[in-house]
Structure 1
């Protein structure tokens, strides 16, 4: 689908849960909605300006009837999706982290435990808890049923800005994108004090995370990452593997992204600073022949090899030390058979043996040196892969 142009930078987007409609929040304060179809056609449905200040975030209601918009004016506006009109406004709505009941005009309670910006939210329906990430380097968990003005849990300082949140493995693990380009993984069973895995590799900050539709293989552990280097990547975790680049925003960072039809649709929308909404067809990414293992690039194969080595707790060198290579075993077997045979016609001369030994040595050296990721085995994290940011430079 061609890019949908707008006249200003897009800060956020929200898809309708049942029909092909997407709303965008703009730097100019406008909330603009577009309809689209599978042939790549689109049209503007409505455009309204609740505030002259920028619209920073959008959220669609569960039934798709309303879209909630908030921004720099610190007000919350409710826009009717059918008519494109503002039906409610709550001025001076947010300064810290307020909790709202749509049936009441005022906030139920406010949380003030974070001292820097709030970057993302995640709702845990099974526990009725709200998870927040902050630029202060911590993650916090708030129980909306509790009347206390403090979180039920807060992580240690991760010494990095936490920018994005996404559940994986059926919600049992939480992936956090960071300013330094590391994916931190929290295990809910282990508590919220610290992450259990750290996956480096992205050369710049990971500002947005998104899940893929559940119909695709390994959907529970495959995520989409939006980075400030302008690339939207598909990454599989456990084992860690780069699947490829889904979309390219050029030199513009990716701020937000989402999959249509309540996360189960065909299109992933991504926005950056280039004043366009980019819709990318996920079917072309996950259902084409390029995903076959026989067509993997050398860098993908190296990613898989090193990730599996960390998963099993052993690298290439330990495998080499465990026993003789195939070439060495064959040479010994031939020597034994030649000694028993005594047939001079089948015996290899010394010069051939020396050439084979030299060739085998070269192969083993090349195998040890072939490591484009420059990975380093570490003790922390069973699935952790330590990679230089240069891995992504050519993508």
Structure 2
């Protein structure tokens, strides 16, 4: 990550709460989804003296936009109104619309490759979609409560999900049933649980130390992650050996960190919270 403070983009401020955001995979563009169902896209500038450029503002969802992911053609996003929209960020046009994609409100989304999107809902159901036509290709119903997060390993063709029922599930997306070296999972107790890849029966290590729940994690390297906690602090954490490396930033006033993401060039870390802003860090 870049160490020049003047290259940190200016914060993005909104009138309403940010539910999720995503970085473009190759350009300095960030998309945000709000509680109002609005989606914004900005081109952020590496010079803090230059304002971020507002590229797009649309309201594709009737209810809150809970999740956002980029592919190379557009921004796929999901909503509490149970719909999936694929938006061309260059024009604002809707490429694909799928109403009532789930029986329950959709809570999170993960892009698996250029044409495959995974979505998880409040009922614990996960679905895979071909975004070219909006067709469902797979459904998993292993969880009994809401899907809290999704992560994907392209190398192993493996989708990992966590749920409000306290379980972790692993799927080989090439097969219709349950199936890096390590996976790190946060918990409400502030403990990081470490799993050896392929050995999912129980975690092989636990690292306590966060005073509150760990709500979001982003991988920096194989040995370093950043965590966002409900105490409002973003921390850098070394993995094996497990060690707190320092504090990256916060949103002030104990605002919980809802999401952290890494930019396409890995120069910036960004976070969103209940203060209606997205902050950047170097």
**Does TM, normalized by the shorter one, top 0.5?**
yes
In the alignment, which residue of structure 2 is the partner of 1:143?
A: 172
Alpha carbons 2:96, 2:133 under 8 Å: kept: no
Q: Name which structure has the greater RCO, CA cutoff 8 Å, separation 6+.
A: 2
TM-fit CA distance, 1:141: 1.1
In the alignment, which residue of structure 2 is the partner of 1:330?
A: none
TM-fit CA distance, 1:101: 2.0
Q: How many residues align?
A: 250
Alpha carbons 2:182, 2:194 under 8 Å: kept: yes
Where do residues 264-283 of structure 1 align in structure 2 (5 Å cutoff)?
264-281=265-282
Measure, in 2, the Cα distance between the counterparts of 1:197 and 1:56: 31
Which has the larger share of helix? 1
Normalised to the residue count of structure 1, the TM-score between the two structures is 0.61
Measure, in 1, the Cα distance between the counterparts of 2:91 and 2:23: 16
Gaps of 5+ in 2: 1-8, 104-124
Q: 2:66 aligns with which of 49, 56, 59?
A: 56
SS in 2 for 1:34: strand
Deviations along 1:265-296, one digit per CA (max 9) or x if unpaired, are 31111001100111112xxxxxxxxxxxxxxx
Alpha carbons 2:37, 2:64 under 8 Å: kept: yes
Alpha carbons 1:74, 1:91 under 8 Å: kept: yes
Alpha carbons 1:56, 1:71 under 8 Å: kept: yes
Where do residues 74-85 of structure 1 align in structure 2 (5 Å cutoff)?
74-85=82-93
TM-fit CA distance, 1:104: 4.1
TM-fit CA distance, 1:2: 3.3
Measure, in 2, the Cα distance between the counterparts of 1:240 and 1:88: 43
Query: Does residue 88 of the first structure (1) align with residue 115 of the second (2)?
Result: no
Where do residues 110-125 of structure 1 align in structure 2 (5 Å cutoff)?
110-125=139-154
Higher Rg: 1
Measure, in 2, the Cα distance between the counterparts of 1:175 and 1:270: 19
Measure, in 2, the Cα distance between the counterparts of 1:240 and 1:141: 24
TM-fit CA distance, 1:71: 1.2
Alpha carbons 1:48, 1:85 under 8 Å: kept: no
Q: 2:244 aligns with which of 199, 220, 242?
A: 242
In the alignment, which residue of structure 2 is the partner of 1:253?
A: 256
Query: Does residue 35 of the first structure (1) align with residue 38 of the second (2)?
Result: no
SS in 2 for 1:39: coil
Where do residues 192-203 of structure 1 align in structure 2 (5 Å cutoff)?
192-203=200-211
Where do residues 1-395 of structure 1 align in structure 2 (5 Å cutoff)?
1-40=9-48, 41=50, 42-61=52-71, 63=72, 65-95=73-103, 96-147=125-176, 150-152=177-179, 171-189=180-198, 191-212=199-220, 219-250=221-252, 251-261=254-264, 264-281=265-282
Q: Which moved more, 1:93-102 or 1:107-116?
A: 93-102
Deviations along 1:24-63, one digit per CA (max 9) or x if unpaired, are 01000001011111112312111110012000000100x2
Alpha carbons 2:18, 2:276 under 8 Å: kept: yes
SS in 2 for 1:83: coil
Measure, in 2, the Cα distance between the counterparts of 1:276 and 1:105: 32
Normalised to the residue count of structure 2, the TM-score between the two structures is 0.85
Q: Which moved more, 1:43-52 or 1:100-109?
A: 100-109
